[in-house]
Amino acid sequence: MLFLTDVDHVSFEKANGTRRINLQAATVSLQVVISLCKRKETAALKLSFKTAD
């Protein structure tokens, strides 16, 4: 029974590690999307100032 407990523990650690990696990947993806949105907003503001002149 100890062996099965160790296997369960290893499986849990792998699943936990996978969740952590997925969370990190999602965080990086979100940061990229936010930075792209900020660039588009900045470009749109610059364009609107040029057309207003």
Q: pLDDT tens digit string along 5-40? A: 555 666 767 777 788 888 999 999 999 999 998 888
Cα–Cα distance for residue pair 34/44, rounded to 1 Å:
15
* C-alpha span between 18 and 2 (Å, rounded): 24
If you count DSSP H runs as helices and E runs as strands, how many of each does the chain have, helices first? 1, 0
Give residue 1's pLDDT band: very low, low, confident or very high (50, 70, 90). Answer: very low
Distance CA 8, CA 23 (A): 22
Q: What is the model's pTM?
A: 0.53
